[in-house]
Structure 1
Amino acid sequence: MRKKSNTIIEIIAVGSELLTPYYQDTNSLYITSRLNDLGLKVSFKTIVGDDHVSLLSCFKLALKRADMVFIIGGLGPTSDDMTREVFAEASGKELEFRTDLLDHIKSRFKKRGLIMTSSNKKQAFVIKGSEVIENRVGTAPGLWIEDLGTTAFLLPGPPVELKTMFESGVMPRMEKYRNGFSFRKVLKITGITESRIENLVSDLYPKSPEIELSVLAYPGQIEIHITSHSLSSPEKAEKMINPLIKSLKGRLKEHIFSENNEELEEVIGRLLLKNKLTLSTAESCTGGLLGHRITN
């Protein structure tokens, strides 16, 4: 994939469990954050179950519409782990067996005092033409493929494996695709409604595509996210949004309780300590939640 300013990036999270109300896809949030650090934006996010037909359709669509795709999960040893096999089919590639990877997987089990089952052998298959990304935590290697027209990363699903691999094996490879530098500031607000905030700051929404502002509502608080993008340096990206932040603070004044990603109870606790004050609570319906949040 050649470097360009409007790179179309897609993240695909694989796993039927992610289509239930019991599991959240936190991996794609992490990847999005790290890509944003490189000045890159994500255009599509897809969650797909462990089904051959669905996976094949999803992968083919991503290869058609995206310049770069990150596929998370489905690299394990069980029968429903088929990311590697189905992506090979979608891209017209063959799988090849790597004895060195099998030896590496065996050594992992040996170090842990475990016996490797025959099902783990499938993790030693890679897509022909791909480059292996070492898994320093688990047994499933990641894959990097650049000869498809679309650059593809196949990454393990367990968060600790994903993050370790992304930092050590993906970010260095992604540096050549860097599209500038981003800076992000979050203003946390309470004691005022989202609609009131909109009325107060609507004329401050940036006209420049290099600066983005969004207002997000959460239980008990509102957050204003300001993100800037500079092609030259992170310092310039930060400097770009300083006037906007100053204007927002002037409009919202005492309603802003944090601009350092602190929670409200953290701010209250710090103020109590600073002023040598104590706080007593008598709770019934909340079951001690207020006291717990402040002391915890």
Structure 2
Amino acid sequence: MKIFQVIIGTEILNARREDSHFHFLRDLLIKRGYELFSSFIIKDDPKLIKDVFTLIKNTPNSMLFCYGGIGATPDDYTRQIAADVFTNGVMEYNKEFIKKIDSKFPNEDNTKKYTLAYWPKDAKPLWNNPVNGFPGFYIKNRYFFMPGFPQMAHPMSEEAIQKFLPKKEIKKRYSLIAYAKESEMLDIMRKIPENIEFSTLPKLDYTSEISFCGENSKEIFEWFKEELKKNNIKYKEIN
């Protein structure tokens, strides 16, 4: 599963607001046994939104958590673009959401508020909104669209993850600090199998933090330590 996050908010990019969605979703997924494949913070620009959504749609086995742009103002483009990219472009009013609006504002003309309930056809609601009870929505059980407000969106994210991402065993990662420059270990690194999730983080003191994850990573980790010893490179295991 390749999980994408899209945060739509010009106000984040021009420093009027700080983002809180990235860390929240990243940590929530890791606790569930998953990881983000990619995260975007983009402007409220229709073409850009469409291009990013299309990239995600064209990625095999993709899932999307999208934040922002589902309100009722003219710069809220997400609902229509989601319909254009992920469905056939047809929109419809969600009857459950309309009833929710009318029950919350029984003595008002709610015509303009109904725009909030104008969704891609066959989209389903994410109801877990403790602020005002208004839902986000999802398409095809894998594309999730939520408000930009964290207090509303984060409970909806939890709802989606609990419903559609069964809990998996958290990946075991094996790590060490090697007291050597990356260049001194290149020949060893080139022998690491491609199926191993491997990363190296060089430090300014000319040490390197190296980690292994994935199937058979424990065996490769032990092999790597032996190779370091053969090359007289000291190391320290870390958690």
Give the TM-score band, short-chain normalised: 0.5 to 0.7
Letter in 1 for 2:119: V
Judge conservation of contact 1:181–1:229 (CA < 8 Å) in 2.
no
2:138 counterpart residue number: 144
Letter in 2 for 1:95: M
Report percent identity of matched pairs: 22
Question: Cα 1:26–1:210, aligned 2, differ >3 Å: closer, same or farther?
Answer: farther
Judge conservation of contact 1:9–1:66 (CA < 8 Å) in 2.
no
1:86 counterpart residue number: 81
1:105-138 C-alpha deviation (Å, 9 max, x unpaired)? 566789xxxx998654322233212221223334
1:146-198 C-alpha deviation (Å, 9 max, x unpaired)? 28xxx42223323343332222332331229x7x7523466689xx8xxx442
Aligned partners of 1:220 and 1:22: how far apart in 2?
A: 37
TM-score by length of 1: 0.57
Deviation at 1:9, TM superposition (A): 4.2
Q: Is residue 166 of structure 1 aligned with residue 150 of structure 2?
A: no
1:251 counterpart residue number: 234
Question: Cα 1:167–1:219, aligned 2, differ >3 Å: closer, same or farther?
Answer: farther
Judge conservation of contact 1:75–1:84 (CA < 8 Å) in 2.
yes
Over the aligned positions, Cα root-mean-square deviation in angstroms equals 4.4
Q: How does 1:191-210 map onto structure 2 within 5 Å?
A: 196-198=180-182, 202=186, 205=189, 207-210=192-195
1:280 counterpart residue number: none
Judge conservation of contact 2:4–2:36 (CA < 8 Å) in 1.
no
TM-score by length of 2: 0.67
Deviation at 1:22, TM superposition (A): 5.7
Question: Cα 1:74–1:183, aligned 2, differ >3 Å: closer, same or farther?
Answer: farther
Aligned partners of 2:139 and 2:105: how far apart in 1?
A: 27
Aligned partners of 2:18 and 2:207: how far apart in 1?
A: 22
1:156 counterpart residue number: 147
Q: How many residues align?
A: 229
Q: Is residue 56 of structure 1 aligned with residue 50 of structure 2?
A: yes
More helix by share: 1
Deviation at 1:78, TM superposition (A): 3.1
Q: Is residue 229 of structure 1 aligned with residue 222 of structure 2?
A: no
2:13 counterpart residue number: 19
Aligned partners of 2:235 and 2:119: how far apart in 1?
A: 55
Aligned partners of 1:245 and 1:107: how far apart in 2?
A: 64
- Please list every run of 5 or more consecutive structure 1 residues that lacks an aligned counterpart in the other structure: 1-6, 231-235, 261-296
Query: Which of 1 and 2 has higher RCO (CA within 8 Å, sep 6+)?
Result: 2
Partner SS for 1:18: helix
Deviation at 1:242, TM superposition (A): 6.4
Deviation at 1:88, TM superposition (A): 1.3
Task: Choose which of 135, 142, 146 in structure 1 pairs with 2:128.
Answer: 135
2:118 counterpart residue number: 125
Aligned partners of 1:160 and 1:138: how far apart in 2?
A: 7
Question: Cα 1:220–1:82, aligned 2, differ >3 Å: closer, same or farther?
Answer: farther
1:261-292 C-alpha deviation (Å, 9 max, x unpaired)? xxxxxxxxxxxxxxxxxxxxxxxxxxxxxxxx
1:95 counterpart residue number: 91
Deviation at 1:145, TM superposition (A): 1.4
Task: Choose which of 160, 164, 172 in structure 2 pairs with 1:183.
Answer: 172
